Amino acid sequence: MGIRIYGRSAFRGIARGKALVSRETIQGWSGIDEETGIIVEIGHPFEGLCITGSILIISGGKGSNGWSCHFHAAKISGKCPAGMVFPKMDSRTGVAAVVTGVPVVTDLEEDVFDIVKTGDYVEVNGDEGYIEIIDKEGE
């Protein structure tokens, strides 16, 4: 068993994928391209990366209230993340969890940003409320 961080389930289901991890939030409007899943926010650490099939681990939403709709549209295009992790929920991410319907875990007991790195292969368990590192990047 890999390292597990326990928290609370925000949306049901289980998913695995490569982690995209940033303490920074991300903007929805002019933040992600819903047709390609590519992050377009200028200066964001993820700029140019693709969220499709990833486990997106960020601190929350920012910018326009049109946040969830861009993840929702990416879902319809088949380009949304496989799962998401937010250390704390907010109203933008709460709606995004519901409209994408992917597993989401929140209220984590430890600082996920210290433990999980971009590229790690992780599981989000939205049924039991934890995230597990299956494979560390580069190991």
Q: Which residues bind another protein (CB under 8 A)?
A: 8, 10-11, 25, 27, 29-31, 34-35, 40-42, 59-70, 72-74, 76-77, 88-99, 101, 104, 106-107
Residue 121: CB minimum distance to another protein, A: 25
Spatial distance between the Cα atoms of 20 and 25, rounded to a whole number of angstroms: 12
Q: Is 64 a catalytic residue?
A: yes
Residue closer to another protein, measured from CB, 26 or 82: 26
Largest alpha-carbon pair distance within the chain? 40
Identify the active-site residue in 22, 59, 64, 77: 64
Residue 120: CB minimum distance to another protein, A: 22
Residue closer to another protein, measured from CB, 71 or 133: 71
Residue 88: CB minimum distance to another protein, A: 6
Burial of 1 from C-beta contacts in 10 A (0-12 / 13-18 / 19+) = exposed
Residue closer to another protein, measured from CB, 83 or 92: 92
| Side-chain half-sphere CA neighbours of 13 within 13 A | 15
Q: Which amino acid is at 92?
A: R
Q: Which sequence positions are flagged as catalytic?
A: 64
